[in-house]
Amino acid sequence: MAKRKFGLALSVLLAAGTLLGACGSDNGEEATNEGNNSGGGESASEYSVAMVTDVGGVDDKSFNQAAWKGIQEFGEDNGLEKGDGGFDYLQSAGEEDYIPNLNALARRDFNLVFGVGFMMQDALDEIASQQKDTEFAIIDAVVEQPNTVSLLFKEHEGSYLAGVAAALMTESKKVGFVGGMENEVIHRFESGFVQGVEAVDPSIEVDIQYTGAFDKAELGKTTANRMYSSGVDIIFHAAGGTGNGVFSEAKERKSNDPDANVWVIGVDSDQYDEGAVGDVNVTLTSMLKRVDVAVKDISEKGMNGEFPGGEVITYGISEDGVALADSRGNIPEDIMAQIDEYQEKIASGEIEVKEYPEGKEPK
Amino acid sequence: MGFLDILYFMVPVSIAYAAPLIFTALGGVFSERSGVVNIALEGLMVMGAFIGILFNLFFFDTFGSWTPWIALIAAMIVSGIFAILHAVASISFRADQVVSGVAINMLGLAIALFLTKMIFEKGQTDFIKKAIPNFDMPFLSDIPVIGPLFFKGIYGSSILAVVAAIITWYVIYKTPFGLRLRAVGEHPMAADTMGVNVNKIRYIAVIISGALAGIGGAIYSQTMTRDFGHATINGQGFMALAAMIFGKWHPIGAMGAAIFFGFAQALAVVGPSIPLIKEIPTGYLHALPYVVTILALAGFIGKATGPKANGKPYIKGSR
């Protein structure tokens, strides 16, 4: 009995300690805040912007990096400095960091806070409902709060162009798509790619395979191995770190046989560096997701007092939100011109790209 | 794809996948046979993967096409040294070996990522110029059936892994050192009475296990990813641990288990292009390697018992 009471007392003490501890760190943060503010007081009236990264970090060569690039450009254009009252970011080491990071930035009086990545959906929803004076924006997900704007991308439009490029460049009449986990975003990639290929030549076979993971390079490599072995010559990957394995397989084949006709189409950012094998390169082009364009756009709107709170904004080809990267000569100019034609047709609305593959529409 | 075509694809892929696991699992065999639980394999692999890439990037100009192989040696040395931490904590200071292992896992990834940020100022390293190559073995690859199965497009590292498994078997079962190693893991007091230095043997075993896990990590990063980042090694160390238990702490058994894992993995990838299996939803195929492992462990292998003194620090004179 005495033991149990002691245990209870201990846990009460621990709980109290944790709570008080939380208070302590909060106070500390506010204190440093004030210190900074008094240092650069003149920027208090300006529009300040910050972001919380996903687990990848600001230099992930992917959307976190792109978002940070957009914020930096916005800061430079408007003469802001890094830090409170200007622009800044907080890095998340794991999912448990999302809420504290978002909260910290809101309390540091940033006018606009970006949450990067669909993983942050729930965390941002919670904080946005508590911090009503701060404006929020989330990338790749929808959060229904009056002070939050949701930014989506028409991945299917960019992937359509990737499909067109693959269909025009393939010699074996077989192309491949390697996806990560099956979800709505990756389905958009698949859908666009397949439609792009069909638009050029319906007889081209598209080999579609999902690996079920974004971080297993060995699965990407094995899948690419199977595809290339079965005669596929161009693979479009939308699989993050798993896609790394696709590049490894292509590079291996290219270095064993310089005449091997193997290509990879990269995703999210320009993956030209990934494809280098000695003096040649296996990266045909990359489907760019211009998170930086979207971030800059929303920041500018917010600065001008036009923050589109509660809205869902999608960035497609006509908004410059998705595009193909420079192929650096891997795609000849006459084919490039044909791809541009398709791009214009999508921008003008003449071609409408379906968002989801048949039978994979979200419920 | 015909049946033979599927085999021609799956067998080389399984062997390539298994090579890093074999090395790491052999490391586990050494350590656990001497009575030190080694959950730290994952962290040691991370270290090996990082050092392998780092060495390859910095010394490519000096060593040219030999770089990946020398990088394996560098990874072996560094991970061996890194494993001393685990040895000191769990042998000299008699800390809980599982806790020490978990600490090494966290520390390994943290150090590697920290150094990556310091050196490259970004979240992952650059891409290496020269990876471990695969090649067709002359003459042997022309043998019908067996040639394409085992000798076409094979990695030097895979051959090395098989050789290492055989050497490990020889060392553990046929040499005086191996006898002492096993004795120390089964009944350290008896071994001590016979004049075997228990702590010394255990130190050597843990360092060897670090070295082998380092090679495993470096093979993985130099064949599969070609760069190093936070997701490069994720779970392979634990797969190797599972392979070691699956193989009943026996070097050849561990090798077989690692290849079996590779085979299940390859089946999951090739499944959608085999007529009957195509009908199965992909989710089940992705779960296949793990389900097969559980079934094999539970049903066909029988009870897996580790070395008797595994996990217990040796205190001289205590009964």
Q: How far is CA A214 from CA A183, B4, B113, B283, in A?
A: 12, 31, 19, 15
Question: In the structure, what pLDDT confidence band is assigned to residue A6 with cuts at 50, 70 and 90?
Answer: low
Residue B218 in this model has a pLDDT that exceeds 50: yes
A111 contacts: CB under 8 Å, gap ≥ 6? A47, A48, A49, A134, A135, A302
Residue A91 in this model has a pLDDT that exceeds 90: no
Q: Sign of dihedral through CA atoms B137, B143, B147, B148? A: positive
Distance (Å, whole) CA A91 – CA B117? 14
CB contact under 8 A, B282 and A60: no
Q: Residue B305 falls within a domain, yes or no?
A: no
Phi, psi of A350 (to 5 degrees): -70, -40
B231 interaction partners in chain A (CB closer than 8 Å): 214-215, 217, 241
Phi, psi of A191 (to 5 degrees): -60, -50
Chain A nearest CA to B184, separation (Å):
37
Nearest CA in chain B to A209: B272
Q: Is B89 helix (H, G, I), strand (E, B) or coil?
A: helix
CB contact under 8 A, B224 and A241: no
Mean pLDDT of the region B85-89: 95
Question: In the structure, what pLDDT confidence band is assigned to residue B305 with cuts at 50, 70 and 90?
Answer: confident
| pLDDT of res. B33 | 95
A212 touches chain B (CB under 8 A): yes
How long a stretch of residues is chain B? 319
CATH number of the domain that residue B175 is part of = 1.10.3470
Q: Residue B312 falls within a domain, yes or no?
A: no
For chain A, positions 93-152, list CB contacts with chain B under 8 A: none
Question: In the structure, what pLDDT confidence band is assigned to residue A10 with cuts at 50, 70 and 90?
Answer: low
Task: Take residue B34 and report the two structure tokens written for it.
Answer: 């001497």
Domain match, A176 and A283 both: yes
Q: For the purposes of burial, counting CB atoms within 10 Å of the CB of A254, is it exposed (0-12), middle (13-18) or buried (19 or more)? A: buried
Domain match, A163 and A234 both: yes
CB contact under 8 A, A248 and B131: yes
Q: Residue A5 falls within a domain, yes or no?
A: no
Q: Point out the residue among B224, B234, B282 whose CB comes nearest to the CB of A221.
A: B224
pLDDT tens-digit profile of A29-75? Answer: 443 443 344 333 344 458 999 999 887 777 777 788 889 999 999 99
Nearest CA in chain B to A56: B123
Domain match, A249 and A304 both: no
| pLDDT of res. B294 | 78
Nearest to B107 by CA among B150, B43, B161: B43
Chain A nearest CA to B128, separation (Å):
9
Domain match, A209 and A282 both: yes
Domain match, A283 and A191 both: yes
| pLDDT of res. A119 | 85
Average per-residue pLDDT in chain B?
Answer: 90
Question: In the structure, what pLDDT confidence band is assigned to residue B29 with cuts at 50, 70 and 90?
Answer: very high
Would you say A234 and A263 are in contact if contact means Cβ atoms under 8 Å apart?
yes
Would you say A71 and A32 are in contact if contact means Cβ atoms under 8 Å apart?
no
For a pLDDT cut of 90, what percent of chain A falls above it? Answer: 59
Q: Where is pLDDT greater, at B206 or A319?
A: B206
For chain A, positions 32-61, list CB contacts with chain B under 8 A: 55-57, 59-61
Q: Residue B116 falls within a domain, yes or no?
A: yes
Distance (Å, whole) CA A342 – CA A339? 5
Q: Point out the residue among B13, B131, B272 whose CB comes nearest to the CB of A225.
A: B13
Task: Take residue B315 and report the two structure tokens written for it.
Answer: 């205190």
Q: Residue A357 falls within a domain, yes or no?
A: no
CB contact under 8 A, A212 and B1: no
CB contact under 8 A, A247 and B226: yes
pLDDT-wise least confident of A185-189, B63-67, B273-277 = B273-277
Domain match, A120 and A146 both: yes
Q: Where is pLDDT greater, at A160 or A15?
A: A160
| pLDDT of res. A112 | 94
Q: How far is CA A120 from CA A125, A180, A185, in A?
A: 8, 19, 15
A239 contacts: CB under 8 Å, gap ≥ 6? A178, A179, A180, A186, A211, A213, A214, A220, A246, A267
Domain that holds residue B143: 3-300
Would you say B18 and B258 are in contact if contact means Cβ atoms under 8 Å apart?
yes
Q: Residue A271 falls within a domain, yes or no?
A: yes
Nearest CA in chain B to A218: B224
A183 touches chain B (CB under 8 A): no
User: Beta A112-116 vs A148-153: how paired, if at all?
Assistant: unpaired
Packing angle of the helix pair B41-63, B198-220 (nearest 10 deg): 60
| pLDDT of res. A9 | 63
CATH number of the domain that residue A205 is part of = 3.40.50.2300
Distance (Å, whole) CA A361 – CA A127? 30
pLDDT tens-digit profile of B148-181? Answer: 888 888 899 999 999 999 999 999 999 999 999 9
Domain match, A174 and A274 both: yes
Q: Is B310 helix (H, G, I), strand (E, B) or coil?
A: coil
| pLDDT of res. A19 | 52
| pLDDT of res. B229 | 87
CB contact under 8 A, A59 and B123: yes
Q: Which helix (H) or strand (E) holds A267?
A: strand A263-268
Q: Sign of dihedral through CA atoms A126, A132, A138, A143? A: positive
Q: For the purposes of burial, counting CB atoms within 10 Å of the CB of A221, is it exposed (0-12), middle (13-18) or buried (19 or more)? A: buried
Would you say B268 and B178 are in contact if contact means Cβ atoms under 8 Å apart?
no
Question: In the structure, what pLDDT confidence band is assigned to residue B311 with cuts at 50, 70 and 90?
Answer: confident
Question: In the structure, what pLDDT confidence band is assigned to residue A28 with cuts at 50, 70 and 90?
Answer: very low
Residue A196 in this model has a pLDDT that exceeds 60: yes
ipTM over 0.90: no
Distance (Å, whole) CA A302 – CA A288? 25
Neighbour count for residue B300 (Cβ, 10 Å)? 7
Task: Take residue B197 and report the two structure tokens written for it.
Answer: 């230095």
The count of domains in chain B is 1
Question: In the structure, what pLDDT confidence band is assigned to residue A18 with cuts at 50, 70 and 90?
Answer: low
Size of interface A-B (CB pairs under 8 A): 83
Q: Residue B309 falls within a domain, yes or no?
A: no
A252 interaction partners in chain B (CB closer than 8 Å): 131, 133-134
Domain match, A123 and A258 both: no
A309 touches chain B (CB under 8 A): no
Nearest to A287 by CA among A156, A123, A94, A96: A156
Q: Which of A178, A225, A249, A283 to mutate to test the interface with B (most CBs of B within 10 A)?
A: A225
Domain that holds residue A242: 155-288+332-348
pLDDT-wise least confident of A108-117, A216-225, B307-316 = B307-316
CB contact under 8 A, B124 and A61: yes
Q: Is A231 helix (H, G, I), strand (E, B) or coil?
A: coil
Nearest CA in chain B to A229: B9
Q: Which helix (H) or strand (E) holds B15?
A: helix B3-33
Residue B130 in this model has a pLDDT that exceeds 70: yes
Domain match, A171 and A189 both: yes
| pLDDT of res. B309 | 87
For a pLDDT cut of 70, what percent of chain A falls above it? Answer: 87
Domain match, A255 and A145 both: no
Chain A nearest CA to B27, separation (Å):
21
The count of domains in chain A is 2
A278 touches chain B (CB under 8 A): yes
Question: In the structure, what pLDDT confidence band is assigned to residue A177 with cuts at 50, 70 and 90?
Answer: very high
Q: Residue B318 falls within a domain, yes or no?
A: no
Average per-residue pLDDT in chain A?
Answer: 86
Q: Which residues face A87 on adjacent strands?
A: A49, A82
Q: Residue A13 falls within a domain, yes or no?
A: no
Would you say B104 and B86 are in contact if contact means Cβ atoms under 8 Å apart?
yes
CB contact under 8 A, A223 and B234: no
For a pLDDT cut of 70, what percent of chain B falls above it? Answer: 97
Q: Residue A304 falls within a domain, yes or no?
A: yes
Q: How far is CA A230 from CA A176, A261, B17, in A?
A: 10, 13, 20
Q: Residue B319 falls within a domain, yes or no?
A: no
Task: Take residue B76 and report the two structure tokens written for it.
Answer: 């072996």
| pLDDT of res. A34 | 39
Residue A226 in this model has a pLDDT that exceeds 50: yes
Burial B96-130 (b: 16+ CB within 10 A, else e): ebeebbebbbebbbeebbeebeeebebbbbebbbb
CB contact under 8 A, B133 and A255: yes
A278 interaction partners in chain B (CB closer than 8 Å): 129
A226 interaction partners in chain B (CB closer than 8 Å): 9, 269-270, 273
Helical ranges in B175-281 per DSSP H: 176-186, 188-193, 198-220, 236-246, 251-270
Residue B234 in this model has a pLDDT that exceeds 90: no
Q: Which of B7, B15, B120, B127 to mutate to test the interface with A (most CBs of A within 10 A)?
A: B127
Mean pLDDT of the region B52-73: 94
Q: Sign of dihedral through CA atoms B221, B224, B226, B227? A: negative
Q: Residue B132 falls within a domain, yes or no?
A: yes
pLDDT-wise least confident of A32-41, A99-108, B307-316 = A32-41
